C-alpha cells in the first residue's frame, strides 16, 4: 500500500466519524521556542491545553514534522530520520478512551477492501499505564485483545505531559508483532529494543492537571481536568514500511527512489558496504527534508531554520562527494524526491521551479566554499600536527561553520580522514551561546523580560482583547493590567509614573500589533490627569494585545479608564507601505513570473522591503519594469478589500499565502484589483491603491542563496526620495556644467580620465620604487656576514611596500641578505621582511625578523620563511622596529 494511500485512508476514516480534516501546518513552527513543527499535536496545543477554545470538537490531520536533534545519527541506523509525517486524531472534550480505542482498532484491523489498513488482529499488542484499568478494559472489551497482549508500563513509557505544569495523562501504545525472525516472543515488555514489536500508534489520554513537574517521571497530580482530551500520533513512515513489506523507512516508496538514484550516480549497490549505505541514507533523508523545508518557505542561511536547512543540504552534497561523485547532484536527486512526494503534497510539484532554484544555488555555493573552507581546514590541521597536538579547537570548528557554512559533522569527517580530533564540546558550547543570544533577542522583542505566564493569567482572567484596529483609530478602554519588566514574579506592577516605561493590557484597543511584517501602530493613551505614548504593540500570547508605553504625565494604574488613540498619520503611512508591499509583490510576479514568490517582508510608515525567491541580481530594465507595473496599479486606483473565508476557499480562488505563516480555519484575504493581487494577510491597508501615492524602488540585493530583496519608499517618503534625487542631479549638473541628460556621459569621461591618471601615478611610483630599490641595495650593511637593508619609505601601502622589498632582495644577489622595510600611511604601519635563499640557509627566518620588528609598533604579522608581512598601530615605534629587526638578524647570524 503506497504511503499516499495510507494517508488518504487515515483522513477518510476519521472524516467519516465526524472529525474535521485539518491541513498540515507549516514545518515552520509558530512557537518561538521551536524552530520546526516537531510533532503532530503542535498545531493543536492551544486547544489541548485549554488556552484557546477549540473551533471543532474533533479533528484529524497528517502533520509534516522535522526533528534534527539526532541529525548526526541519521544514516548510521535505519531508525533515525529528520522529516516524517504524523497521522493524528484529536478530541477536545468530546470522546475519550473508549472512543479513541474504537477508532484506532477499526482502522488498524479493518479490511483493506472496506478502507482499513488490514493488519492482522492476532499480531497487535498494546501497552497501557500501570494503573490505567479503564484503558486496559477498553482494549479487552472493545478490541477483544487477550489480557496477555495488554502490557502495563510505567511513567517513562506510558505517561505524557508537556514538561511543564499543565495538562497530562496516561497513554496507550499500539504495537505490531513483526514475527520471530526479529526477536523473542513476549511483547514490548520483553523487546526493549523495539525490533520485533514495533510501535505504530500512541494514544494520549489527557485527563489530569499536573504541577511540580520536574522531569518525565517526577510530578504531582492536582486533579482531573474539567474537559478531557485525546491526542494521538501514528507514524506514517512506520506503517508504510510494514504495509509495503520492507525493512525500514529508507525502503518505502517516498524515500527509496532517491536512495536508488544516488546509488546509481555513485556506482555502488545498496546493502553491500556499511559506509556507503550510511551515506546513501543520509542523502535520501536530507534531500527529502530539504525539498519539504524549502517548500514551506525556509531558505538556507547561517542562523536558526536557515542553518538547519543549509546543514541538511550540505550534508547530502558532502555524502555524495564521499561516495565519489564530484559533479552537482541535487539536479539529479531533487526531482526524484519531488515525484515521490508529489502524490501526498502536490504543492511541491507546482512550486518546484522555486524550490529547485533555492536548492541548486545552495549546492553551487557549497561547492565553491568547499575549496576555500578546505584550505582553511588543511592549514589548521597542519598547524595542529606541527604543534604536536593533533586536535582542532572548538573555535576553529566554529569558524569553519560560521564563515564557510561547514556542518560540524563535515568537519568531524574531514578531521577523522586526517587522523585529527575536534573539540566538539567547545564547538557546541559556542553554538549554544549563539542560539541563546538569538532566542533571548527574540523573546525580548516579543515580551520584553516579562514571564509569558503573566500574560496567560490575564488572558484566562479577562479573555481575549477586543481588538478594533480594522474598524477605528480611537476607543474608550480600561486598563486590565500593568505588567512590569522588572518584577521577579508575575504579579501586577505598581502604578507607573512619569518617565517610566511599562507594558499595559487594555480590554479593547484600536492599535495594530506587530505581525505579518507590519510594525506596530504609534499613538497615545490619555486619561484624567495623565497621558502616555505608545512605543510598541505585541501579541505575546494569542488573543492578547500588549502595549509598551512611556508615561508622560500622571500615573497609569490597573483599572484606569482611558482613551486609546492611534496616530492618524502613522497609520495612513503604514497602510500605504503594507498595500505597497502587495503591489510590489504582484508586480514582481507579473514581470519575473509566478516563481518570484514572497518569502518575507517588513513595512513601516513610508518604507517597505520584500524578500522573494529568485536567482541572480535583477537587471536595470527589470527594476524599471517592476516599478512601472507597480505605479500603473497605483494610478489605476484599484479597489482594496478584505474578506474572510476558509483556507480551502482562499486557496481555490488563488490567494497567496506567506511561507512559514500558520493560518486558522478562517483566513483574511486582501484583494487589490480583484485577482490582480490576492493574498492572505492580517495587516491594515488603504481602501484604494491610489492612496499608496508615489512608489519608488530604492534598492535590490541578495539575502541568501536563491533569495533577493527589493526595497521601496511610498507616499510622502516616496515623493521626498525622488525630490532628493532630483536635487542631487541638479547639483551635479551645476558642478559639472552639464545638462541633466548629459550627466552620465560627463561623469563617465571624468572617471576614464581618473583611471588614466591613476595608471600614470602607479607607473611613476613603480619607477621611483625601482630607483629606490637600487639605492637601498647599494646601502646594505654587513651584520654578522649578512647583508641587511632597513628603511622606512613614507606613504606606501602594504602591497607597494612588499613589491619594493622583493625588488631590493633581488638586487642583493646570491649573498645572504635580509630586507626589512616599514612605512606609515594614514596613521597605520606596514611591515615587510624578505630574505634571500642564502640567508635562509644560514638559519634565518622572515617570520622571526618580522615578529621582532612588529612589537615596537604594536603590531603583528606572519608569512613564510622567505617573506613575511604585517602591520602595527604606532608609527612612532618605526625606528625601534627596524633596530629590533636588525638585532634579531645579528643574534641569529651569530649562532
Please name the residues in contact with 277: beta carbons below 8 A apart, sequence gap of 6 or more.
75, 270, 271
The Cα 118–Cα 710 span in angstroms is: 54
Name the least confident of 103-112, 429-438, 621-630, 811-820: 429-438
Name the least confident of 315-329, 655-669, 684-698, 877-891: 655-669
Q: What is the pLDDT of residue 542?
A: 83
Classified as helix, coil or strand, 627 is helix
**Annotated domain spans of the chain:** 3-247, 258-442, 452-566, 571-723, 770-894
Beta bridge partners of 211: 220
The Cα 240–Cα 854 span in angstroms is: 67
Q: How far is CA 181 from CA 177, 329, 366, 835, in A?
A: 10, 38, 44, 74
Please name the residues in contact with 37: beta carbons below 8 A apart, sequence gap of 6 or more.
25, 26, 27, 28, 29, 43, 63, 64, 65, 66
Please name the residues in contact with 26: beta carbons below 8 A apart, sequence gap of 6 or more.
37, 64, 296, 297, 659, 660, 661, 662
Contact 678, 655 (CB under 8 A): yes
Q: What is the pLDDT of residue 318?
A: 86
Contact 852, 833 (CB under 8 A): no
Please name the residues in contact with 813: beta carbons below 8 A apart, sequence gap of 6 or more.
836
Beta bridge partners of 553: 531
Give the mean pLDDT of 247-271.
94
C-alpha grid cell, residue 715:
507616499
Closest residue by Cα to residue 549 from 866, 129, 560:
560
Classified as helix, coil or strand, 348 is helix
The Cα 163–Cα 211 span in angstroms is: 10
* pLDDT tier for residue 287 given thresholds of 50, 70 and 90: very high
Contact 577, 603 (CB under 8 A): yes
* pLDDT tier for residue 490 given thresholds of 50, 70 and 90: very low
Architecture category of domain 3-247 in CATH: 2-Layer Sandwich (3.30)
The Cα 372–Cα 617 span in angstroms is: 24
Q: What is the 3-state secondary structure (H, E, C) of 148-204?
A: HHEEEECHHHHEEECCCCEEEEEEEEEEEECCHHHCCCCCCCCCCCCCCEEEEEEEE
The Cα 733–Cα 744 span in angstroms is: 10
Query: Was 19 annotated as part of a binding site?
Result: no
Closest residue by Cα to residue 397 from 387, 172, 384:
384
Query: Was 685 annotated as part of a binding site?
Result: yes
Q: Is 659 left (phi over 0), alpha (psi -120 to 50) or beta?
A: beta
Q: How many CB atoms lie within 10 A of CB 222?
A: 12
Please give the helix or strand (H or E) that residue 640 lies within, else none: strand 640-646
C-alpha grid cell, residue 645:
473565508
The Cα 608–Cα 516 span in angstroms is: 12
The CATH classification number of 452-566 equals 2.40.30.130
435-488 residue pLDDT tens: 666 555 544 544 444 556 678 778 878 889 999 999 999 999 999 999 864 344
The Cα 861–Cα 869 span in angstroms is: 6
Closest residue by Cα to residue 523 from 550, 496, 502, 544:
550
Q: What is the pLDDT of residue 446?
A: 46
| 542 CA to centre of own chain | 23
Query: Was 681 annotated as part of a binding site?
Result: yes
Please name the residues in contact with 833: beta carbons below 8 A apart, sequence gap of 6 or more.
805, 818, 819, 820, 846, 847, 849, 850, 853, 863, 867, 868, 869, 885
The Cα 124–Cα 683 span in angstroms is: 51
Considering the chain, what percentage of its residues have pLDDT values greater than 70? 94
514-564 residue pLDDT tens: 988 899 999 999 999 999 999 999 998 888 999 999 999 999 999 999 999
Please name the residues in contact with 460: beta carbons below 8 A apart, sequence gap of 6 or more.
none
Closest residue by Cα to residue 31 from 49, 53, 9, 5:
49
Please give the helix or strand (H or E) that residue 750 lies within, else none: helix 743-778
First-to-last C-alpha distance (Å) of the chain: 83
3-state helix, strand, coil in the chain (%, to 5): 45, 25, 30
Q: What is the pLDDT of residue 655?
A: 87
Output 155 or 707, whichever has higher pLDDT. 155
Closest residue by Cα to residue 173 from 215, 218, 132:
132
Q: Is the pLDDT of residue 660 over 60?
A: no
Contact 793, 772 (CB under 8 A): yes
Q: What is the pLDDT of residue 447?
A: 47
Q: How many CB atoms lie within 10 A of CB 800?
A: 19
Supply the pTM of this predicted model: 0.62
Q: How far is CA 191 from CA 160, 182, 184, 188, 569, in A?
A: 21, 10, 7, 5, 69
Query: Which phi and psi angles does 784 have, rounded to 5°?
Result: 60, 35
> Per-residue DSSP letters for 757-795?
HHHHHHHHHHHHHHHHHHHHHHT-EEETTEEEEEE--TT
C-alpha grid cell, residue 804:
619594493
Tallying the residues shown for the chain, one arrives at: 895
Beta bridge partners of 89: 60
Give the mean pLDDT of 701-723.
89
The Cα 164–Cα 33 span in angstroms is: 14
Confirm or reject CATH 3.30.565.10 for domain 770-894, answering yes or no. no
- Mean pLDDT of the residues in the chain: 88
The CATH classification number of 571-723 equals 3.30.980.10
Whether the CA torsion 270, 274, 276, 278 is positive or negative: it is positive
Residue in the block written with cell 522573494: 612
360-391 residue pLDDT tens: 988 988 887 776 677 777 777 887 777 777 78
Q: Where are the alpha helices (DSSP H) in 244-351?
A: 256-266, 274-295, 304-322, 330-341, 346-350
Q: What is the 3-state secondary structure (H, E, C) of 805-821?
A: HHHHHHHCCCCCEEEEE
The Cα 148–Cα 384 span in angstroms is: 61
* pLDDT tier for residue 270 given thresholds of 50, 70 and 90: very high
Query: Was 171 annotated as part of a binding site?
Result: no
Please name the residues in contact with 122: beta carbons below 8 A apart, sequence gap of 6 or more.
none
The Cα 808–Cα 802 span in angstroms is: 10
Please give the helix or strand (H or E) that residue 753 lies within, else none: helix 743-778
Q: Is the pLDDT of residue 24 over 60?
A: yes
Q: What is the pLDDT of residue 379?
A: 79
The Cα 608–Cα 522 span in angstroms is: 17
The Cα 213–Cα 162 span in angstroms is: 9
Most confident among 30-39, 302-311, 381-390, 854-863 (mean pLDDT): 854-863
Give the mean pLDDT of 214-221.
88
Name the least confident of 530-544, 576-590, 700-714: 700-714
* pLDDT tier for residue 662 given thresholds of 50, 70 and 90: low
Angle ∠(709,715,719) on CA atoms, nearest 5 = 95
Name the least confident of 266-270, 637-641, 676-680, 794-798: 794-798
Amino acid at each position: 500500500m503506497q504511503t499516499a494511500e495510507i494517508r488518504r485512508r487515515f483522513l477518510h476514516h476519521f472524516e467519516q466519524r465526524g472529525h474535521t480534516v485539518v491541513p498540515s501546518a507549516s514545518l515552520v513552527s509558530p512557537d518561538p521556542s521551536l524552530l520546526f513543527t516537531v510533532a503532530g499535536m503542535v498545531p493543536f496545543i492551544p486547544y489541548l491545553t485549554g488556552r484557546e477554545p477549540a473551533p471543532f470538537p474533533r479533528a484529524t490531520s497528517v502533520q509534516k514534522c522535522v526533528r534534527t536533534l539526532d541529525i548526526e545519527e541519521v544514516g548510521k541506523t535505519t531508525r533515525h530520520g529528520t522529516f516524517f509525517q504524523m497521522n493524528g486524531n484529536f478530541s477536545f472534550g468530546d470522546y475519550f478512551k473508549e472512543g479513541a480505542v474504537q477508532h484506532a482498532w477499526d482502522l488498524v484491523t479493518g479490511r483493506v477492501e472496506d478502507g482499513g489498513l488490514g493488519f492482522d488482529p492476532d499480531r497487535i499488542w498494546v501497552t497501557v499505564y500501570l494503573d490505567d484499568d479503564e484503558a486496559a478494559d477498553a482494549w479487552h472489551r472493545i478490541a477483544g485483545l487477550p489480557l496477555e497482549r495488554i502490557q502495563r508500563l510505567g511513567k517513562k513509557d506510558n505517561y505524557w505531559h508537556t514538561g511543564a505544569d499543565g495538562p497530562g495523562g496516561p497513554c496507550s501504545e499500539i504495537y505490531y508483532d513483526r514475527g520471530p525472525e526479529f526477536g523473542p516472543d513476549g511483547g514490548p515488555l520483553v523487546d526493549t529494543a523495539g525490533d520485533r514489536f514495533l510501535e505504530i500508534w500512541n494514544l494520549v489520554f489527557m485527563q489530569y492537571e499536573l504541577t511540580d513537574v520536574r522531569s518525565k517521571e517526577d510530578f504531582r497530580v492536582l486533579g482531573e481536568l474539567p474537559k478531557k482530551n485525546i491526542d494521538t500520533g501514528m507514524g506514517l513512515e512506520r506503517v508504510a514500511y510494514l504495509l509495503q513489506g520492507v525493512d525500514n523507512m529508507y525502503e518505502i516508496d517516498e524515500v527509496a527512489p532517491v536512495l536508488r538514484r544516488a546509488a546509481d550516480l555513485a556506482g555502488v549497490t545498496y546493502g553491500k558496504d556499511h559506509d556507503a549505505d550510511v551515506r546513501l541514507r543520509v542523502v535520501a533523508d536530507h534531500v527529502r527534508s530539504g525539498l519539504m523545508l524549502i517548500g514551506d518557505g525556509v531558505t538556507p542561511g547561517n542562523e536558526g531554520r536557515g542553518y538547519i536547512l543549509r546543514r541538511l543540504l550540505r550534508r547530502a552534497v558532502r555524502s555524495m562527494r564521499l561516495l565519489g561523485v564530484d559533479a552537482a547532484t541535487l539536479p539529479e536527486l531533487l526531482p526524484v524526491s519531488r515525484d515521490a512526494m508529489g502524490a501526498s503534497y502536490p504543492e511541491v510539484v507546482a512550486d518546484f521551479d522555486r524550490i529547485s532554484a533555492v536548492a541548486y544555488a545552495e549546492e553551487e555555493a557549497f561547492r565553491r566554499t568547499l575549496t576555500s573552507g578546505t584550505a582553511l581546514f588543511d592549514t589548521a590541521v597542519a598547524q595542529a600536527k606541527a604543534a604536536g597536538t593533533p586536535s582542532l579547537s572548538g573555535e576553529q570548528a566554529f569558524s569553519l561553520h560560521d564563515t564557510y557554512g561547514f556542518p560540524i559533522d563535515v568537519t568531524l569527517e574531514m578531521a577523522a580522514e586526517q587522523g585529527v580530533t575536534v573539540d566538539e564540546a567547545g564547538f557546541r558550547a559556542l553554538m549554544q551561546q549563539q542560539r541563546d543570544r538569538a532566542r533571548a533577542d527574540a523573546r525580548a522583542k516579543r515580551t520584553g523580560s516579562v514571564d509569558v505566564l503573566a500574560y496567560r493569567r490575564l488572558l484566562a482572567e479577562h479573555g481575549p482583547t477586543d481588538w478594533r484596529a480594522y474598524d477605528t483609530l480611537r476607543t474608550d478602554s480600561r486598563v486590565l493590567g500593568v505588567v512590569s519588566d522588572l518584577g521577579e514574579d508575575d504579579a501586577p506592577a505598581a502604578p507607573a509614573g512619569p518617565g517610566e516605561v511599562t507594558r499595559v493590557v487594555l480590554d479593547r484597543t484600536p492599535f495594530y500589533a506587530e505581525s505579518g511584517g507590519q510594525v506596530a501602530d504609534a499613538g497615545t493613551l490619555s486619561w484624567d490627569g495623565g497621558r502616555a505614548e505608545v512605543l510598541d504593540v505585541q501579541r505575546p500570547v494569542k488573543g492578547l494585545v500588549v502595549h509598551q508605553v512611556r508615561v508622560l504625565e500622571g500615573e497609569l494604574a490597573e483599572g484606569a479608564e482611558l482613551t486609546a488613540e492611534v496616530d492618524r498619520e502613522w497609520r495612513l503611512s503604514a497602510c500605504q507601505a503594507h498595500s505597497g508591499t502587495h503591489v510590489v509583490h504582484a508586480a514582481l510576479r507579473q514581470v519575473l513570473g509566478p516563481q518570484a514568490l514572497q518569502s518575507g517582508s517588513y513595512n513601516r510608515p513610508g518604507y517597505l522591503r520584500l524578500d522573494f525567491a529568485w536567482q541572480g541580481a535583477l537587471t536595470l530594465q527589470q527594476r524599471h519594469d517592476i516599478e512601472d507595473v507597480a505605479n500603473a496599479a497605483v494610478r489605476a486606483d484599484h479597489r482594496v478589500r478584505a474578506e474572510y473565508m476558509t483556507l480551502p476557499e482562499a486557496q481555490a480562488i488563488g490567494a497567496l499565502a506567506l511561507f512559514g505563516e500558520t493560518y486558522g480555519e478562517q483566513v483574511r484575504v486582501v484583494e487589490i484589483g480583484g485577482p490582480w493581487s490576492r493574498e492572505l494577510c492580517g495587516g491594515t491597508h488603504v481602501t484604494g491603491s491610489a492612496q499608496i501615492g508615489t512608489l519608488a524602488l530604492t534598492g535590490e540585493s541578495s539575502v541568501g542563496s536563491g533569495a533577493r530583496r527589493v526595497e521601496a519608499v511610498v507616499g510622502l517618503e516616496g515623493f521626498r526620495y525622488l525630490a532628493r534625487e532630483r536635487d542631487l542631479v541638479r547639483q551635479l549638473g551645476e558642478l559639472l556644467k552639464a545638462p541633466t541628460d548629459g550627466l552620465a556621459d560627463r561623469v563617465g569621461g571624468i572617471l576614464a580620465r581618473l583611471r588614466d591618471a591613476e595608471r600614470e601615478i602607479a607607473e611613476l611610483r613603480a619607477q621611483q620604487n625601482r630607483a629606490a630599490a637600487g639605492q637601498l641595495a647599494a646601502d646594505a650593511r654587513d651584520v654578522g656576514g649578512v647583508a641587511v637593508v632597513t628603511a622606512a619609505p613614507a606613504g606606501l601601502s602594504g602591497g607597494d611596500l612588499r613589491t619594493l622589498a622583493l625588488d631590493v632582495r633581488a638586487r642583493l644577489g646570491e649573498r645572504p641578505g635580509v630586507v626589512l622595510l616599514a612605512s606609515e600611511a594614514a596613521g597605520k604601519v606596514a611591515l615587510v621582511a624578505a630574505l634571500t635563499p642564502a640567508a635562509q640557509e644560514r638559519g634565518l627566518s622572515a617570520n622571526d625578523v618580522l615578529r621582532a620588528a612588529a612589537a615596537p609598533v604594536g603590531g603583528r604579522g606572519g608569512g613564510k620563511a622567505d617573506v613575511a608581512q604585517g602591520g602595527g598601530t604606532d608609527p612612532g615605534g618605526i625606528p625601534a622596529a627596524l633596530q629590533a629587526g636588525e638585532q634579531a638578524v645579528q643574534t641569529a647570524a651569530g649562532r
